[in-house]
Structure 1
Amino acid sequence: MIARNFLVLALGVLMIGIAPLATAETPEVGQKAPEFSLSTPDGHPLSLSEFTSKGTVVLVVLRGFPGYQCPYCQKQVHDFVTNGEKFVTAGAEVMLVYPGPPAALDQHAKEFLAKENPLPANVHLVVDPDYAFTNQYGLRWDAPHETAYPSTFLIDRQGAVFFRKVSREHGDRTTAADVLAQLEHDKVAHSH
């Protein structure tokens, strides 16, 4: 009896020890954006602080590869790529996060970019093959054929979020014009 109770207690403690951690909170406007490092589909590591040290970061979280190439993501990325020079003028680097299951994610990301290559020098696609970033930012869309909630964050040189939009549906995305207007608004607000 004592041995059985001990075993039950030990299993209970073990199960508590392996309980899933609470889901991370999505950074709010005014909060510091959590640091992360992800790699390009070719394996080149890039970190958030590497880009905030240069200026504003436009962080766009795509649906990535939920089992197919998302047409809304393709349209959004095309919009940001064709406006790449305007982001240079605004002093912004654009980071596109492409999450998905790890199997062949790099290859899927390369296929996704096939129509957009070469990317402008200030637009960078990184992959999130194990959802580490997606979970860190509290953006995991944990449903069949989903990966992450499509989201956009604007992050200043100090690493603080000054704009965010998190979509709970496929088509509700920020456009390059939306983001450029927000960058201009922020620039005017800080010049006073």
Structure 2
Amino acid sequence: MVAEVFPLADIGLPLGARVPDFTLPDARGRLVRLAERLRTGPVVLIFCRSEGCSCCAVRLRAYLRALPELAEFGAALITISPRPPVPTLSTEDEHRRSLDVLGDVEQRVFADFGLRRELSGEPVPATFVLDRQGVVRARHVGVDHGTTMEPADALAAVEAITLG
């Protein structure tokens, strides 16, 4: 059996790339379009392996704690899972419209972002920080799903985008 080898530089969209627009459903069935979120400010986009992934759950809790600071810079937080989204996060956060929990069941957005392993079909966890034009300004792609971009690093990228 041949092992899959995925150099991190070869996975996911690179720095400076313009991301493809997408529309995905949230837990309430509402369609959320990336371009609409980018109109109001930067976007921190987190791709999770699954709702049940303990590493992803820890990462999301850390980002939820950073959500008020991200919102101060007008940034939105979008999480995407390959499963249908479930309404498990605070409705207060959802009402602020700075958080979207979306499902990409067909993994089209994962594929568009270069985050699907061709041989296994598994999604790769990643975090991208996008400016208002949809350009990748910071990224972390982790084949080892235990590694991630820390919220403080995403916040620093958002601050740099916003303050120029």
What band does the TM-score fall into relative to the shorter chain?
Answer: 0.7 to 0.9
Q: Which residue of 2 aligns with 1:14?
A: none
Task: State how far apart, in whole Å, the 2-side matches of 1:93 and 1:187 are.
Answer: 13
* 4+ residue runs over 4 A deviation: none
Q: For the pair shown, which has the larger CA radius of gyration, 1 or 2?
A: 1
Aligned residue type for 2:90: N
1:141, CA displacement in angstroms?
3.6
Residue pair 1:64, 1:147 contacting (<8 A) in 2 also: no
After superposition, the CA RMSD in angstroms is 2.0
From the two aligned structures, give the one with the greater helix fraction. 1
1:143, CA displacement in angstroms?
6.8
1:43, CA displacement in angstroms?
1.1
| Correspondence list, 1:62-141, <5 A | 62-65=48-51, 69-99=52-82, 105-106=83-84, 109-110=85-86, 114=88, 116-118=89-91, 120=93, 121=96, 122-141=98-117
CA offset digits 1:108-156 (Å, max 9, x no partner): x32xx53x32251211100001111111111014576x83211111111
1:178, CA displacement in angstroms?
1.7
User: Structure 1 stretches of 5 or more lacking a match?
Assistant: 1-24, 100-104
Aligned residue type for 2:106: D
> Aligned in 2, Cα 1:134/1:86: closer, same or farther, shift over 3 Å?
same
1:41, CA displacement in angstroms?
2.1
Aligned residue type for 2:71: V
TM-score (norm 2): 0.83
User: Which of 24, 32, 42 does residue 46 from structure 1 map onto?
Assistant: 32
Task: State how far apart, in whole Å, the 2-side matches of 1:132 and 1:167 are.
Answer: 19
Residue pair 2:131, 2:161 contacting (<8 A) in 1 also: no
TM-score (norm 1): 0.72
Aligned residue type for 1:96: T
Residue pair 2:42, 2:161 contacting (<8 A) in 1 also: no
| Correspondence list, 1:5-16, <5 A | none
Task: State how far apart, in whole Å, the 2-side matches of 1:74 and 1:43 are.
Answer: 22
Number of residue pairs aligned between Structure 1 and Structure 2: 151
1:61, CA displacement in angstroms?
0.5
Q: Which residue of 1 aligns with 2:122?
A: 147
User: Structure 2 stretches of 5 or more lacking a match?
Assistant: 1-10
Pair 1:184-2:159 in alignment = yes
Identity rate of aligned residues, in percent?
A: 25
